[in-house]
């Protein structure tokens, strides 16, 4: 048994053993968490390898040798003199060593004076002299004093009264000049992109036997090039050759632009040896040289192919990074594994910080400007370019301009530059796609995507693939509920294009092709103009009456949205050219017979007063979408045979609907039917062979249909199997080619056993039903992708699910205790099954993921007998009545249990105890510690044993976690572990102990050096910790516990490998969300994923993304429940 030292929070020691560019000397207590930390990040992002020591590391011979070695191997030293620098003998010894290297003509020194002046450092009356005298050793003090005087004679850089951010950038530039390095420019203020840089750096560092390609994609101005510059700076010296081709799209427009770009690429990777590349095969240029190539702002596949037609021309292990607005740039296989990094806009806090740096030269607004700043930031919607430009434009401006900017930010001078940047994507579109883009910007935002797609298929001047092209170019996106969304600034850019197309339209809205502003629409209607108007939205704040004749001249009107509008007059003047009519709150009980809309494709009449439309003579031969949802007066549908092309019928929440016309069975194209919450509906007039095209059926909240199919609560007293047989009629009476079915809130106590007629089913939604189980036959649904059991609070277990399942929603299944039949959660290609199990308060086991069970006598005997290998003296004997509070990061639930629990996860086990049961180990707190595995001497290395004492500084558990890092530096292996269950304290003065045992196989051997550290994340404070190596001859323990330990030793964690030899062991819901979002943006042409990323899987991602949008709401609900239990948020 070899005892180790104690350990603590995360260290910032460098990962690389290679020589450094810069050695950073500083006094930790003065600047570690502010100036030096910011300087270190700026140097790192500039690609300058920097050694930064940490005063919290225990000092001794080893660390002194390591520091002296780092100084010797560095080309330059930055010495940050601060008020308390001279109080540290270690800092002063570093300075002496630095000057010795300089005097040997092998080192450059740059002094930095932070909140001190050079005179305070060097003059005899200065503050440093007093600090030096306190050390007492006259000989050493004299040596230090002479060294300090020599350094101040070098000059240096003084902060003075300048802002730190600008000062740091000056330091970085000076270091670059001294080092004579090649670097890409990085702006002074880089906010909120750290996670993107970390993810891309991990991808770059991953060793591959192929040439891998990464796409950095996002809207214009989101910071793609900045991220590429930083990644390039940080990684170029790990490659043999490199090339950065800037703004490929713009350069390609010039004469011989693409030829010049290829010439630059050849020149760079040949190190200038081949100026005339004609006739030279690129493959021969890069022979045995790993290359890092960045192609910035590539717009088309043709540009990429012209510059580098075959990535395989580069040597294996090379990396290609492409920045583009077109996320589907790689429509064909290109290189090895392809990965897409999607760059989102900044969140509210980061956006305000970035804006403030540019507007006020500090991270927050001046007093009196907070409200104005927040309004401008909201307008920018997180776009870094807009935040930077508007911040600079408003810097040092008077209050009057700020008031204007807050109300009308688009009028500020810098808005033109923002619009030009965003318009680049628009200018590259096909003419038909430009029309679609402008229609979306002025009319379709917030519309259901599938309805818009029906328009594209109707030859309405659009290109069938137009939606996909706009998504690819980051001009639009698909939001919650499958609706079209657009960045606010992109929307404004599109609408400005409409306004600027005609100078007259600014004065006369009737000259505009699209009307979306209420006042403009009213002016045109009052003047009876609008001959060229294509789309019109009239959404008054109060009920408004308009004469039908006001539309008489709008013969080109195609898209009309009326809300809260009542029309008077003869409907013969109603526009007959419409292809999309949205009329919310229609006040008439029937549709006027004189309305003729033969070209109409989409009809939306939500919240209408329509009662019965059987008498209507309407024939709509081209109608594809009919939405009458929330029309509470509707009793019966019209004769649906009048709409032979109907594909989507939406009758949701028509609470008085009692009859659907029998002609529905003849709608050969109907693919979507929604009768959810039609509480008076008792039957669907479907016969065998009807609706062969129906793919999605929504029947949630229909008790009448449940009664029709023998699902009413009065008949639920039958045994479960009989109930299942009785419910089989529900399935047998449905169309056989359904892909999605929703039966939420149908009071179903059982689900049918015979599912043979649902062989095509991919999405099954059974939310909020009193189900206790599902039939075993559900595994026969071989195509099932998503299963939703939201708030099925009676559900006790899950049967074996088909291997095709990719998402299981179990939120609020409060009776569910264990999940033992799911496919594997992760695979080497990413997340395999996405599970949301929040508020499943009794869930203590998910097979293959984790298991929590009471600590039994044998297990307690193991611990007390010293199996953990840590010398602890038991202070208080734990009793069976001892209460342990656990927070489960998989379910987001806090549970109180009457005895200590043991957690099995990743082949290790952990135990959590309230600290009053134990005497805390007497160990000094440190950062990372290093432990050498000694020779065997007849012993076997059984494992690594740790004890960590901590407390949670917040009594609201959401988000609490602890991170344990273990590295085998000899074998370049690293494990980062966050336990899925965490013991928490029930009071501000209580402490928890975490005892954890790790078992290794051949990953750790004799002679290896281990580096171990622990840190508290998000509200956890680490108090003390200890670690030992267990080198007993053998594990001799009686009872079941030892078998459990052995059985969990050999766990395959390959699916958790994020880079070669680096594993992130975290099964929490947060981690699942991160992986899913990353996976959703992966390139679909990656070879090992091509069979999984079909249209259905993208639908799964869309379904899950809707859940992701609700996660914050659910988290708040969980926190509220915790608060109702008496928990309060406390800061110590």
DSSP assignment, residue 934? P
Alpha-carbon span 495 to 515, nearest angstrom: 10
Going by pLDDT thresholds of 50, 70 and 90, the confidence category of residue 930 is confident
For 84, the enclosing helix (H) or strand (E) is: none
**Quick one: average pLDDT of 1090-1104?**
47
Alpha-carbon span 940 to 934, nearest angstrom: 10
Can you give the pLDDT at residue 708?
60
Alpha-carbon span 420 to 521, nearest angstrom: 28
Sort strands 818-819 and 845-846 into parallel, antiparallel or unpaired: parallel
Using one digit for the tens of pLDDT, what is the confidence trace for 406-440?
888 777 777 788 888 888 889 888 899 999 999 99
Alpha-carbon span 214 to 302, nearest angstrom: 17
Q: Identify the top-confidence range among 281-290, 382-391, 874-883, 942-951.
A: 382-391
Residue found by looking up tokens 């290093």 in the block: 930
429-501, CATH topology level: Arc Repressor Mutant, subunit A (1.10.10)
Can you give the pLDDT at residue 7?
36
| pTM: predicted TM-score of the whole model, two decimal places | 0.72
Can you give the pLDDT at residue 940?
60
Q: Which residues of 123-148 are buried (b: 16+ CB within 10 A; e: fewer)?
A: eeebbbbebbeeeeeeeebeebbebb
Whether the pLDDT of residue 1127 is over 80: the answer is no
Can you give the pLDDT at residue 656?
94
Whether the pLDDT of residue 9 is over 80: the answer is no
CATH ID of 22-179, from 3.40.50.10140, 3.30.70.20, 3.90.180.10, 3.30.1330.60: 3.40.50.10140
Going by pLDDT thresholds of 50, 70 and 90, the confidence category of residue 92 is very high
Can you give the pLDDT at residue 265?
87
Regarding predicted confidence, which is higher, 805 or 734? 805
Tell me if residue 94 is catalytic. yes
Using one digit for the tens of pLDDT, what is the confidence trace for 523-552?
999 888 889 999 999 998 888 899 999 998
Whether the pLDDT of residue 255 is over 60: the answer is yes
**Quick one: average pLDDT of 328-352?**
84
Regarding predicted confidence, which is higher, 273 or 383? 383
C-alpha dist (Å) from residue 1106 to 86, 1112, 1113: 57, 12, 12
Q: Percentage of the chain with pLDDT > 70?
A: 78
Using one digit for the tens of pLDDT, what is the confidence trace for 876-885?
334 444 577 8
Q: What angle do CA 438, 442, 447 make, to 5 degrees?
A: 105
Tokens of 551: 């539309």
Can you give the pLDDT at residue 987?
65
For the chain, the straight-line distance linking the first and the last C-alpha, in angstroms and rounded, comes to: 38
Using one digit for the tens of pLDDT, what is the confidence trace for 167-188?
998 999 888 888 877 778 888 8
**Quick one: average pLDDT of 919-936?**
61
Using one digit for the tens of pLDDT, what is the confidence trace for 671-703?
999 999 999 998 888 766 678 889 999 999 987
Going by pLDDT thresholds of 50, 70 and 90, the confidence category of residue 231 is very high
Alpha-carbon span 1054 to 1062, nearest angstrom: 10
Beta strands in 261-315 (DSSP E): 291-295
- Residues 697 and 738: beta-carbon distance below 8 Å: yes
SS3 582: strand
- Residues 550 and 538: beta-carbon distance below 8 Å: no
Beta strands in 979-1088 (DSSP E): 981-983, 992-998, 1009-1017, 1020-1030, 1057-1059, 1062-1065
Using one digit for the tens of pLDDT, what is the confidence trace for 233-248?
888 888 888 899 999 9
Can you give the pLDDT at residue 899?
73
Can you give the pLDDT at residue 1091?
33
Alpha-carbon span 811 to 744, nearest angstrom: 14
Going by pLDDT thresholds of 50, 70 and 90, the confidence category of residue 829 is low
Can you give the pLDDT at residue 875?
38
Write down the mean pLDDT value for the chain: 79
Sort strands 992-998 and 908-914 into parallel, antiparallel or unpaired: antiparallel
Beta strands in 378-478 (DSSP E): 477-478
Q: What angle do CA 981, 983, 986 make, to 5 degrees?
A: 140
C-alpha dist (Å) from residue 939 to 512, 863, 936, 1028, 1031: 86, 20, 5, 15, 6
Alpha-carbon span 990 to 978, nearest angstrom: 22
Catalytic choice (56, 58, 94, 853): 94
**Quick one: average pLDDT of 783-797?**
91
Going by pLDDT thresholds of 50, 70 and 90, the confidence category of residue 870 is very low
**Quick one: average pLDDT of 914-930?**
56
Alpha-carbon span 550 to 461, nearest angstrom: 26
Helix 488-500 vs helix 415-427: crossing angle, to nearest 10:
80
Can you give the pLDDT at residue 983?
86
With a CB cutoff of 8 Å and minimum separation 6, the contacts of 729 are 709, 710
Sort strands 157-158 and 108-113 into parallel, antiparallel or unpaired: parallel
Lowest mean pLDDT among 27-41, 518-532, 580-594, 863-877: 863-877
Alpha-carbon span 929 to 1010, nearest angstrom: 8
Chain-centroid distance, C-alpha 775:
35
Tokens of 270: 């040949």
CATH architecture of 194-342: 3-Layer(aba) Sandwich (3.40)
For 292, the enclosing helix (H) or strand (E) is: strand 291-295
Can you give the pLDDT at residue 197?
92
Tokens of 315: 């040597």
Instruction: Say how many CA atoms lie within 13 Å of 1057 toward its Cβ.
Output: 14
Tokens of 941: 């290395």
Helix 384-394 vs helix 415-427: crossing angle, to nearest 10:
160
């Amino acid at each position: 048994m070899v005892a180790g030292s104690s350990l603590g929070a995360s260290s910032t020691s460098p990962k690389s053993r290679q020589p450094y560019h810069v050695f950073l000397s500083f006094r930790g207590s003065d600047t570690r968490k502010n100036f030096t930390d910011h300087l270190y990040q700026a140097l790192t992002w500039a690609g300058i390898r920097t050694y930064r020591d940490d005063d919290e590391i225990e000092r001794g011979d080893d660390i002194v040798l390591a520091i002296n070695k780092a100084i010797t191997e560095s080309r330059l030293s930055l010495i940050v003199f601060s008020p308390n620098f001279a109080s540290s003998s270690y800092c002063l010894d570093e300075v002496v060593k630095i000057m010795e290297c300089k005097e040997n003509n092998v080192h450059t020194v740059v002094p930095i004076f932070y909140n001190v002046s050079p005179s305070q450092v060097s003059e005899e009356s200065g503050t440093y002299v007093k600090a030096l005298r306190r050390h007492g050793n006259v000989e050493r003090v004299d040596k230090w004093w002479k060294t300090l005087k020599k350094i101040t004679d070098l000059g240096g850089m003084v902060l003075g009264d300048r802002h730190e951010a600008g000062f740091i950038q000056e330091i970085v530039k000076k270091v670059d000049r001294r080092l004579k390095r090649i670097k890409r420019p990085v702006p002074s203020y880089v906010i909120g992109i750290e996670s993107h840089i970390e993810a891309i750096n991990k991808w770059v560092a991953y060793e591959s036997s192929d040439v891998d390609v990464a796409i950095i994609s996002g809207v214009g101005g989101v910071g793609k090039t900045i991220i590429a510059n930083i990644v390039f700076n940080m990684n170029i010296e790990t490659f043999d050759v490199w090339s950065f081709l800037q703004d490929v799209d713009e350069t390609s427009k010039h004469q011989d632009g693409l030829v010049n770009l290829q010439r630059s690429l050849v020149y760079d990777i040949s190190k200038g040896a081949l100026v005339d590349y004609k006739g030279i095969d690129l493959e021969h240029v890069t022979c045995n040289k790993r290359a890092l190539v960045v192609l910035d702002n590539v717009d088309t596949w043709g540009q990429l192919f012209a510059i580098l037609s075959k990535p395989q021309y580069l040597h294996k292990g090379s990396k290609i990074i492409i920045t583009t607005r077109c996320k589907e740039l790689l429509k064909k296989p290109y290189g090895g594994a392809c990965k897409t990094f999607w760059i989102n806009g900044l969140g509210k806090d980061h956006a305000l910080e970035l804006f403030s740096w540019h507007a006020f030269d500090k991270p927050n607004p001046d007093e009196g400007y907070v409200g104005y700043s927040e309004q401008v930031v909201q307008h920018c919607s997180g776009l870094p370019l807009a935040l930077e430009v508007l911040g600079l434009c408003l810097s040092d401006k008077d209050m009057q301009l700020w008031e204007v900017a807050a109300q009308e930010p688009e009028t500020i001078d810098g808005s033109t530059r923002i619009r030009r940047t965003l318009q680049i994507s628009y200018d590259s579109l096909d003419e038909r796609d430009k029309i679609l883009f402008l229609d979306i910007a002025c009319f379709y935002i917030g519309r259901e995507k599938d309805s818009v797609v029906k328009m594209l298929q109707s030859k309405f001047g659009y290109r069938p693939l137009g939606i996909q092209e706009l998504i690819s170019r980051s001009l639009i996106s698909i939001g919650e509920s499958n609706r079209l969304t657009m960045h606010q600034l992109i929307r404004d850019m599109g609408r400005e294009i409409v306004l600027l197309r005609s100078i007259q339209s600014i004065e006369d809205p009737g000259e505009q092709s699209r009307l979306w502003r209420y006042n403009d629409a009213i002016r045109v209607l009052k003047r009876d103009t609008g001959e060229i108007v294509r789309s019109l939205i009239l959404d008054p704040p109060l009920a408004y009456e308009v004469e039908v004749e006001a539309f008489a001249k709008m013969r080109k009107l195609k898209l009309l949205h009326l809300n809260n509008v009542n029309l008077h007059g003869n409907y013969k003047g109603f526009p007959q050219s419409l292809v999309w009519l949205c009329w919310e709150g229609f006040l008439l009980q029937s549709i006027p017979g004189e309305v003729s809309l033969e070209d109409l494709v989409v009809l939306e009449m939500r919240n209408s007063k329509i009662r019965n439309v059987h008498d209507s003579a309407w024939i709509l031969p081209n109608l594809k979408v009919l939405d009458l949802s929330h029309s509470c007066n509707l009793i019966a549908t019209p004769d649906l045979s009048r709409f032979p092309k109907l594909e989507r019928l939406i009758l949701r929440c028509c609470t008085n609907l009692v009859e659907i016309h029998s002609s529905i069975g003849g709608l050969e194209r109907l693919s979507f039917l929604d009768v959810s919450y039609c509480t008076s509906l008792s039957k669907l007039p479907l016969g065998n062979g009807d609706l062969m095209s129906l793919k999605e059926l929504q029947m949630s909240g229909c008790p009448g249909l449940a009664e029709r199919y023998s699902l009413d609560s009065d008949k639920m007293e039958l045994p479960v199997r009989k109930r299942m047989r009785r419910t089989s009629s529900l399935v047998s009476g449905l169309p056989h080619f359904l892909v999605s079915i929703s039966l939420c809130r149908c009071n179903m106590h059982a689900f049918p056993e015979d599912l043979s007629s649902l062989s095509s089913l991919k999405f099954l939604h059974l939310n909020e039903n009193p189900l206790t189980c599902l039939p075993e036959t559900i595994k026969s649904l071989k195509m099932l992708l998503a299963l939703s059991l939201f708030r099925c609070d009676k559900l006790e277990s899950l049967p074996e699910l088909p291997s095709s399942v990719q998402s299981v929603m179990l939120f609020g299944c409060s009776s569910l205790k264990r999940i033992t039949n799911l496919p594997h959660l992760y695979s080497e290609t990413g997340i395999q099954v996405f599970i949301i199990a929040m508020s499943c308060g009794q869930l203590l086991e998910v097979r293959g993921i984790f298991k929590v069970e009471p600590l039994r006598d044998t297990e307690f005997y193991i611990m007390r007998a010293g199996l953990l290998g840590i010398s602890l003296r038991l202070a208080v004997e734990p009793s069976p009545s001892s209460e342990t509070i656990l927070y489960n990061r998989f379910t987001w639930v806090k549970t109180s249990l009457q005895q200590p629990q043991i957690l099995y996860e990743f082949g290790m086990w952990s135990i959590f105890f309230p600290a009053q049961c134990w005497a805390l180990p007497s160990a000094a707190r440190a950062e990372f510690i290093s432990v050498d595995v000694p020779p065997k001497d007849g012993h076997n290395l059984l494992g690594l044993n740790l004890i960590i004492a901590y407390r949670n500084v917040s009594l609201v558990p959401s988000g609490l976690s602890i991170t344990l890092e273990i590295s085998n530096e000899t074998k370049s292996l690293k494990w980062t572990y966050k336990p899925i269950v965490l013991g928490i304290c029930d009071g501000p003065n209580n402490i928890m102990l975490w005892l954890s045992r790790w078992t290794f196989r051949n990953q750790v051997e004799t002679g290896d050096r281990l580096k171990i550290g622990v840190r508290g994340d998000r509200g956890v404070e680490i108090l003390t910790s200890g670690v030992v190596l267990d080198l007993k001859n053998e594990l001799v323990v009686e009872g079941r516990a030892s078998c459990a330990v052995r059985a969990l030793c050999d766990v395959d964690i390959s699916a958790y490998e994020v880079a070669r030899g680096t594993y992130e062991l975290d099964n929490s819901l947060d981690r699942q969300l991160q992986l899913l979002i990353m996976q959703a943006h992966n390139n679909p042409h990656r070879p090992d994923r091509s069979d999984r990323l079909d249209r259905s899987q993208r639908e799964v991602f869309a379904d899950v993304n809707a859940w992701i949008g609700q996660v914050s709401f659910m988290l708040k609900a969980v926190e509220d429940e915790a608060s109702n239990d008496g928990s309060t948020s406390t800061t110590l």
